[in-house]
Amino acid sequence: MQLFIEQVINGIGNGLVYGSVALALVIIFRTTGILNFAQGEMALFSTYITWKLASESDGFGLPIVAAIGLSMAIAFVAGAMIERVLIRPVEQARSPLNVVIVTLGLFLGLNSVAQLIFGTDPQLMPSPFPEGNVELFSSGGDAVVVSKDTIGLIAVLVAECILLWLLLQRTNLGLKLRAVASNPDSARLHGIRAGTMLMLGWGMAAAIGALAGSLVASQRTGFDGSLMQIIIVYAFAAAALGGFDSLIGAVVAGLIVGIADALTVQYVDALEGIEVVVPLGLILVVLVILPNGLFGRRTVERV
Amino acid sequence: MSLLELANVQGGYGPVRVLHDIDLAVEEGHVAVVLGANGAGKTTTLRAISGLIHAQGDIVFDGRQILGRSPEAVARLGIAHVPQGRGTFTELTVEENLRLGAVNRTDRDVRSDFDRWYSVFPRLADRRNQEAGSMSGGEQQMLALARAMMARPRLLLLDEPSLGLAPLVTRELFAQLGDLNRNHGLTVLVVEQNANLALDIGHWGYVLEAGRIAVQGDAHQLHDDEAVRKAYLGF
Amino acid sequence: MSMPSDGTGASVEPALGTLPETAAVPAAAPGERPPIWPPLPRPVLIARIVIGVALSVVALYAPFYFTPENNRIISQALYLSIAAMGLNLLTGFTGQVSIGHGAFFGVGAFTTAILMVDHGWTFEATIPVAAVLSGLVGMLVGFPALRVRGLQLALVTLALAVLFPRLASKYVEGAGGVALLRPRRSEFASLIDGLDDDQWAYFVCLIIAVVLFVLAWNLVRGRMGRAMVAVRDQEIAATTVGVNLAGTKVGTFALSAAYAGVAGSLSVMIDRIADATSPILYLQRSIEFLVAMVIGGAATILGPAVGAFLLVWLRRNTEDLIEGKEILAPAIFGAALIAIVYVLPEGVVGGVRRLLARLGRRSSGSAARPGPASASDVPDDSINPGGSHDEGT
């Protein structure tokens, strides 16, 4: 039983990572209708910037929390610029596949430039959370132990979701963002500066990605250019599973994917080496039954 | 001086010229009706006013040249454009659609406007938390009108509001429009194929043919003029 | 007084690029095929004939002129173009976005490799088997794909591409204990005296590519092609005119998977390896196919081939460009992709068509009707959320 709980918690830890990247994907989708394949590499680049800002030996030595905050701000601006300069001109040609190509180009380019600038050696990212563990409860003997990092991650993610939800659902700005995603031409006719909203959407997603990447890197013993490559696949899986309209869906789905993965690794020997079958298979099954994902809203199509 | 004046307006899509020398004026507090067959350029005229397409000439609103401005800028000047197809925000609820209409307003009367338009269109009130895209064409048209009115516009541009609506619903819609104009002083420029209903509430009418103004005159006279009716209006 | 003529209403804008072929061809009577030589403007016709002849000559002479290494590269471009064409059938024409065709490619490659290494088959005999097997897998994927749309479908296919190498490494064991098979070089020897091995390989690829492209062209021109485009552009309306939605989607999935499988099979001959040790290799392949299709021109016949060659050329040249800073190669490649999509949103073939159409208009006088070239300038005439298109006024 204890092993089970520990694996679940393990899975939650990974799942939070997947969920936070999925969140960025969903934000871009909900505000611009685009699937951003470069999300992971954008996060990677920002992670390197965080490291550069925080590193005592190679960088500016800022306190880690400040470094993350600053990196998020930089990412916000960069994301907005990317939208304006690279994405929008191509999107206006009204070909969604072309936008996919651009994000793929970004995917390739960002990874390689990051390695060029920051080098290929693994680097250390300090953690913003206090060290140590917390005991959850003792069931006859051994206590279940959770690291403060995990709790910190959970807290950050929950806070993110709440803030984003409030922004999108309860503010005028959020309404404008969603309007532009829904019907950009009509939004213009209501005096909404559609271009600005698109830039905001990308900026937000980039900032969220920067946070996610920095936190992920801080949980590992070292990170390098490959940090996001497998994560992005799981994050995509989580976003699809949760349904692209839903913020909560992204996080919950991320948790499900993480937990399923961890449990499979632990308990299902037959699938050793191909544990990735489980989250992927899960998605397939769920999507076949619920085509809009677990939390997606059914969109009515009127012809 | 008219609230809206178009002079020598040319416009179209890329290399395709649709409008040729359009001269048009809308007096404040009036309903101007633009009629014509498919392809005559009615929708294009509205899009030129809103800045959705490139145009040449003069488009003057309240004394200010608005030609060349972006659609957002034109909207912020007080022109509300309800496009063909209604421009519904399908994934948002009815209530959110209405909120969008008022999203650039800074005054405090937004809440009371909600109440007002819900009472004018009770069916919208019934469906206020429903996804807008799941409503019928008529309901979406009502929504589009209410949404436009939430912006408290000075000029309302309506593109074929009767398109796809049942006759009874169309009648109701035009009755509302007429009321808004007569009792609340709303200035309207409505493009229609349903000439009968439009001219009934109108003050001045234009008939477009192949991108030019073929006939214009007092709306009721146009309505009663047999020759014009037979030639252009089909009834 | 006569009614005014129809103005220039907005034309239907398919989401993935126009289909100039059918736009230029007069509507065929039901059951009839459009003529092979549609009434094209003069310059276009002449250009086509000249290019066609020139290309044929080049294609036939090339392997004798180039070194074996270069022949190998050209052959790579050939099998890449087959896979891209397969994807084009599914994504370009039928509108089902797939980033998982690398998996079907892998199925084909491993089918061939396993049959050769473990069962001693001759290479050429494995090709049809690979095609059928990958086609079957494609069909299996096609069925659940019916329920899943758009973005989710793209992600499911991405999952497939990631899954495949893992599955392969679990169940396939090569000589080194990993999922890597290397059939012997001698297995691919030329079957014709006078042709070197690399030349033979090239011709095999060329002939298969030509056959498959002609097949695709035929398909697209006919009833199935119209059904595919109908499914892409307006699915709900398509069902109302009797298009078998499920049949079209699943069938196209199977066919496009078969194409990818053939490409995979050919790749074993050219690269002499079937390799599942890298978890992202087949995802990269999927992306290659997609890129080739888009930069060449989606929903065109020549597009995938043009795109494949362009892609291979780009890759080679970016590698050469940066000596010492190899790490920048993907960045330059990525930048090139973005630039191409910027400048030629309809791909190379689309861009060339536009150019020729404009030349055609100029030569036939100013009274020419605003043809397909300007179709993409005309915006949606109605601001519609769903994407249905009303008549313009």
CA distance A62 to C44: 64
ipTM of the complex: 0.89
User: Which residue from B16, B18, B84 is facing C390, i.e. has the nearest CB?
Assistant: B84
Quick one: pLDDT band at residue A298, thresholds 50, 70, 90? low
pLDDT of residue B66: 92
- β-strand pairing of B64-65 with B79-82: unpaired
Residue that wins the pLDDT comparison between A69 and C355: A69
Quick one: pLDDT band at residue B164, thresholds 50, 70, 90? confident
Say yes or no: B50 contacts chain C, CB-CB below 8 A.
Answer: no
CB contact under 8 A, C97 and A95: no
Say yes or no: C334 contacts chain A, CB-CB below 8 A.
Answer: yes
3-state secondary structure chain A: CHHHHHHHHHHHHHHHHHHHHHHHHHHHHHHHCCCCCCHHHHHHHHHHHHHHHHCCCCCCCCCHHHHHHHHHHHHHHHHHHHHHHHHHHHHCCCCHHHHHHHHHHHHHHHHHHHHHHHCCCCECCCCCCCCCEEEEEECCCCEEEEEHHHHHHHHHHHHHHHHHHHHHHHCHHHHHHHHHHHCHHHHHHCCCCHHHHHHHHHHHHHHHHHHHHHHHHHCCCCECCCHHHHHHHHHHHHHHHHCCCCHHHHHHHHHHHHHHHHHHHHHCHHHCCCCCHHHHHHHHHHHHHCCCCCCCCCCCCCC
Task: Give the CA distances from residue C181 to residues C117, C165, C168, in Å, rounded to whole numbers and listed in that order.
Answer: 7, 13, 11
pLDDT of residue C57: 86
CB contact under 8 A, A178 and B91: yes
Comparing A236-240, C320-324, C355-359, which segment has the lowest mean pLDDT? Answer: C320-324
* Chain C environment of A244 (Cβ under 8 Å): 151-152
Sequence-distant (6+) residues with CB within 8 A of B124 are B94, B98, B117, B118, B139, B142, B143, B146
CB contact under 8 A, C147 and A237: no
Task: Residue A160: give the domain boundaries.
Answer: 19-226
List, in order of start, the domains of chain B with CATH numbers.
Answer: 4-233 (3.40.50.300)
Domain boundaries, chain C: 40-279
Mean pLDDT of A80-98: 81
Residue B79 has pLDDT above 60, yes or no: yes
Mean pLDDT of B22-39: 89
CA distance B150 to C148: 38
Alpha-carbon torsion (B87, B93, B98, B99), positive or negative: negative
Residue C12 has pLDDT above 60, yes or no: no
pLDDT of residue A117: 86
User: Which residue from B52, B92, B103 is facing A190, i.e. has the nearest CB?
Assistant: B103
Sequence-distant (6+) residues with CB within 8 A of C217 are C301
Q: How many residues does chain B have?
A: 235
Query: Residue C221 region, left (φ>0) first, then alpha (ψ -120 to 50), else beta?
Result: alpha
DSSP string, C204-236: HHHHHHHHHHHHHHHHHHSHHHHHHHHHHH-HH
User: Which residue from A90, A107, A301 is facing C386, i.e. has the nearest CB?
Assistant: A301
Residue C208 has pLDDT above 70, yes or no: yes
Task: Provide the shortest C-alpha distance from residue C249 to chain B (in Å).
Answer: 27
Residue that wins the pLDDT comparison between C48 and A259: A259
Range of A129-143, C39-53, C258-272 with top mean pLDDT: C258-272
Mean pLDDT of chain A: 83
Q: Which residues pair with C253 in a beta bridge?
A: none
Mean pLDDT of chain C: 76
User: Which residue from A175, A188, A302 is facing B72, i.e. has the nearest CB?
Assistant: A188
pLDDT of residue C8: 32
pLDDT of residue C389: 33
Number of domains in chain A: 1
DSSP string, C283-335: HHHHHHHHHHHHHH-TTSSSHHHHHHHHHHHHHHHHHHH-SS-GGGHHHHHHH
Say yes or no: C197 contacts chain B, CB-CB below 8 A.
Answer: no
pLDDT of residue C278: 74
Chain B residues 60-99 within an 8 A CB cutoff of chain C? 83-85, 87-90
Residue C267 has pLDDT above 50, yes or no: yes
CA distance C273 to C99: 22
Please, which chains are in contact with A (at least 3 CB pairs closer than 8 A)?
Answer: B, C
Residue among A299, A77, B47 at smallest CA distance from C386? A299
Residue that wins the pLDDT comparison between A157 and C306: C306
pLDDT of residue A137: 64
CA distance A226 to A102: 21
Quick one: pLDDT band at residue A166, thresholds 50, 70, 90? very high
Say yes or no: B103 contacts chain A, CB-CB below 8 A.
Answer: yes
CB contact under 8 A, C328 and A107: no
pLDDT of residue C18: 37
Mean pLDDT of B158-171: 85
Share of chain A above pLDDT 70, in %: 90
Residue of A nearest to C15 (CA): A95
Chain C residues 329-388 within an 8 A CB cutoff of chain B? 370, 374, 377-379, 381-386
* Cβ–Cβ under 8 Å, residues A236 and C155: yes
Residue of C nearest to B53 (CA): C379
CA distance C294 to C346: 7
How does pLDDT run across A186-204, given as a tens digit for each residue? 999 999 998 999 999 999 9
How does pLDDT run across A241-288, given as a tens digit for each residue? 888 778 888 888 899 888 888 887 777 766 666 666 777 777 777 777
Residue C26 has pLDDT above 60, yes or no: no
- β-strand pairing of B4-13 with B55-61: antiparallel
Mean pLDDT of C326-354: 81
How does pLDDT run across C134-168, given as a tens digit for each residue? 999 999 888 887 877 777 788 788 878 888 887 88
State the helix-helix crossing angle for A96-118 and C329-343, rounded to 10 degrees.
150
pLDDT of residue A81: 94
Q: Which amino acid is at C352?
A: V
Residue B180, helix vs strand vs coil: helix
Residue that wins the pLDDT comparison between C320 and B221: B221
Sequence-distant (6+) residues with CB within 8 A of B233 are B35, B195, B196, B207, B222
* Cβ–Cβ under 8 Å, residues C344 and C28: no
CB contact under 8 A, A116 and C327: yes
Sequence-distant (6+) residues with CB within 8 A of B198 are B33, B35, B174, B190, B192, B205
pLDDT of residue C380: 36
Mean pLDDT of A69-74: 95
Residue B173 has pLDDT above 60, yes or no: yes
Long-range contacts of C231-240 (CB under 8 A, 24+ apart): C231/C94, C231/C95, C232/C14, C232/C15, C232/C16, C232/C93, C232/C94, C232/C95, C233/C12, C233/C14, C233/C15, C233/C95, C234/A303, C234/C387, C234/C388, C236/A301, C236/A303, C237/A303
Residue C354, helix vs strand vs coil: helix
Quick one: pLDDT band at residue C36, thresholds 50, 70, 90? low
CB contact under 8 A, A112 and C16: no
Task: Provide the shortest C-alpha distance from residue A211 to chain B (in Å).
Answer: 29
Residue C204 has pLDDT above 80, yes or no: yes
Cβ-Cβ contacts under 8 Å between B and C: the total is: 84
Neighbouring C-alpha atoms within 13 Å toward the C-beta of A147: 12
Could you tell me where the beta strands, DSSP code E, fall in C142-291? 180-181, 274-275
pLDDT of residue B204: 92
Please, which chains are in contact with C (at least 3 CB pairs closer than 8 A)?
Answer: A, B
Residue that wins the pLDDT comparison between C392 and C177: C177
CB contact under 8 A, A90 and C341: yes
pLDDT of residue A208: 92
CA distance A51 to A95: 37
Residue in the structure block whose two tokens are 């400040």: A66
Residue C381, helix vs strand vs coil: coil
Q: Which residues pair with C181 in a beta bridge?
A: C274
Quick one: pLDDT band at residue B38, thresholds 50, 70, 90? confident
Cβ-Cβ contacts under 8 Å between A and B: the total is: 79
Task: Provide the shortest C-alpha distance from residue A31 to chain B (in Å).
Answer: 12
Is there a domain that residue A257 lies in?
no
Mean pLDDT of B54-63: 91
